[in-house]
Amino acid sequence: MVYDKKIVVIGTGGTIAGQSGSAEDLTGYQAGELSIEQVLATVPGAEGYGPFESHQLCNIDSSDMTMAIWAKLAHTVQAYVDREDVAAVVVTHGTDTLEEGSYFLHLTVRTTKPIVMVGAMRPATAISADGPLNLLQAVQIARSPQAVGQGVLVTLNGTINCARDVVKQHTTDVAAFGNSFFGHLGFVQDGQAHFYYQTLRKHTANSEFAPLSTETLPKVALITLYGGVEAELIHQVLQGKPHGIVLAGLGHGILPEKIQQIVEHSDIPIVRSSRTGNGMVSAMPSDSRFGFIVSDTLAPSKARLLLMLGLTKTTDRKQLQTYFEQY
Ligand code: SIN
């Protein structure tokens, strides 16, 4: 098949661009070493899915990602998808914060064109490196007519995942990405993307946060609670004057009594989410009494991003809660 429109491949770094001194070294390597052109050159068969244009946005370990870099990424992707000669965008990204980076673009880029994000769990120098196949499958998904209008998709290990739901679930396994509650949207087999589900939540073309209109986002803290958590921890975070806080609470997003007493009727929005990694945090009668927002089925890291973007529009808690029901 000959394509006339381009896929733009944007490199941001990560293990997919990582190198180490030995093929056996699967953990002690340096992420973000190879350029996006070098990474693309290691993918046999990729040329069949071109033409490509490449763009090196940064080349870092994704643990060093910042909101400013993601904002720049959102503006860059928007500029490419707005171009007539571009069919789709593929973004290579470190896996450690891929769940956040992908959801941020899902909410802030206005398009129906496919945006596929991809990483690797093993560096490019490793025996059985997974990056080349993952990247090949990313461009195969990007060329699929079924990927149109699906928002940002994340692929590793042959799976196709929705950016809203996908989380990193394993420290080193190549099958690290998915959502054990919602599953995958589909998978790639024999060079073909196969889709089975799609999200009903708002994103990209119908997101009111897209296109991203700001570089500086409100400051939102994310705190994971634990048995025996000290009240002091919350006081310290509040001293930093955040515009909002997401609490990854216990079980169904439960806050220990002493934490609840500090944050109830707070003058900043407080979102209850769950540290369990699965399921929904739904509203309880006490939430409206105390002014808490609930995170629905969003992972705490994603709830933080939605609260940040919501706060660019309003501080009204009812409206903020509506965002968590829609996105
Ligand atoms: C990173 O997130 O940049 C390092 C880890 C990885 O990409 O797997």
pLDDT at residue number 105: 98
Q: Describe the crossing of helices 98-108 and 67-81 by its angle, rounded to 10 degrees.
A: 50
Could you tell me the distance, in angstroms and rounded to a whole number, from the CA of residue 277 to the centre of ligand 1? 20
How far is it, in rounded angstroms, from Cα 286 to Cα 222? 21
Q: Whose CA is nearest to atom 1 of ligand 1?
A: 94
Residues 6+ apart with CB under 8 A from 120: 14, 15, 16, 18, 95, 129, 130, 131, 134, 135, 156
Q: Describe the crossing of helices 98-108 and 300-311 by its angle, rounded to 10 degrees.
A: 30
Residue identified by tokens 């990927």 is 147
Residues 6+ apart with CB under 8 A from 121: 15, 95, 130, 156, 172, 173, 174, 176
pTM value is 0.97
CA distances from 117 to 20, 35, 172, 287 (A): 23, 16, 18, 36
Phi, psi dihedrals of residue 307, rounded to the nearest 5°? -65, -40
Point out the ligand 1 atom lying closest to the alpha carbon of residue 63.
Answer: 2
What pLDDT, in 10s, does the model give residues 206-241? 999 999 998 899 999 999 999 999 999 999 999 999
Q: Average pLDDT for residues 129-145, to the nearest whole number?
A: 98
Q: Which fold has domain 6-206?
A: Rossmann fold (3.40.50)
Phi, psi dihedrals of residue 134, rounded to the nearest 5°? -60, -40
Q: Is the predicted pLDDT of residue 307 greater than 90, yes or no?
A: yes
pLDDT at residue number 215: 85
Confidence of residue 275 (pLDDT cuts 50, 70, 90): very high
Point out the ligand 1 atom lying closest to the alpha carbon of residue 13.
Answer: 3
Structure tokens at 156: 């590793």
What pLDDT, in 10s, does the model give residues 189-206? 999 999 999 999 999 999
Measured from CB, residues less than 6 Å from any atom of ligand 1 are 13-15, 31, 61-63, 94-96, 119, 121
pLDDT at residue number 69: 98
Confidence of residue 315 (pLDDT cuts 50, 70, 90): very high
Could you tell me the distance, in angstroms and rounded to a whole number, from the CA of residue 299 to the centre of ligand 1? 19
Q: Average pLDDT for residues 123-127, to the nearest whole number?
A: 96
Could you tell me the distance, in angstroms and rounded to a whole number, from the CA of residue 84 to the centre of ligand 1? 32
**Domains 6-206 and 220-326 are alike in CATH topology:** yes
How far is it, in rounded angstroms, from Cα 114 to Cα 90? 8
The alpha helices in 26-142, defined as continuous H runs, are: 36-41, 67-81, 98-108, 131-142
Could you tell me the distance, in angstroms and rounded to a whole number, from the CA of residue 30 to the centre of ligand 1? 9
Choosing from 62, 171, 172 the residue with most ligand 1 atoms within 8 A of its CB, the one to mutate for a pocket test is 62
Point out the ligand 1 atom lying closest to the alpha carbon of residue 120.
Answer: 8
Average pLDDT, the chain: 97
Choosing from 12, 15, 58 the residue with most ligand 1 atoms within 8 A of its CB, the one to mutate for a pocket test is 15
How far is it, in rounded angstroms, from Cα 180 to Cα 26? 25
Confidence of residue 164 (pLDDT cuts 50, 70, 90): very high
Do residues 52 and 6 make contact, with C-beta atoms less than 8 angstroms apart? yes
How far is it, in rounded angstroms, from Cα 96 to Cα 188? 23
Could you tell me the distance, in angstroms and rounded to a whole number, from the CA of residue 17 to the centre of ligand 1? 9
How far is it, in rounded angstroms, from Cα 177 to Cα 163? 11
Do residues 117 and 154 make contact, with C-beta atoms less than 8 angstroms apart? yes
How far is it, in rounded angstroms, from Cα 116 to Cα 179? 17
Q: Where are the domains of the chain?
A: 6-206, 220-326
pLDDT at residue number 78: 98
Do residues 114 and 150 make contact, with C-beta atoms less than 8 angstroms apart? yes
How far is it, in rounded angstroms, from Cα 158 to Cα 161? 10
How far is it, in rounded angstroms, from Cα 176 to Cα 287? 34
Task: For the domain covering 220-326, report its CATH number.
Answer: 3.40.50.40
| Listed residue (304, 298, 311) closest to 164, CA to CA | 298
Could you tell me the distance, in angstroms and rounded to a whole number, from the CA of residue 109 to the centre of ligand 1? 23
Point out the ligand 1 atom lying closest to the alpha carbon of residue 15.
Answer: 7
How far is it, in rounded angstroms, from Cα 61 to Cα 33? 9
| Listed residue (42, 198, 44, 5) closest to 122, CA to CA | 42
Q: Average pLDDT for residues 63-92, to the nearest whole number?
A: 98
Choosing from 12, 29, 63 the residue with most ligand 1 atoms within 8 A of its CB, the one to mutate for a pocket test is 63
Point out the ligand 1 atom lying closest to the alpha carbon of residue 98.
Answer: 2
Residues 6+ apart with CB under 8 A from 94: 12, 13, 14, 15, 16, 31, 32, 60, 61, 62, 63, 65, 119
pLDDT at residue number 308: 98
> Which residues are marked as active site?
15
Q: Whose CA is nearest to atom 7 of ligand 1?
A: 94
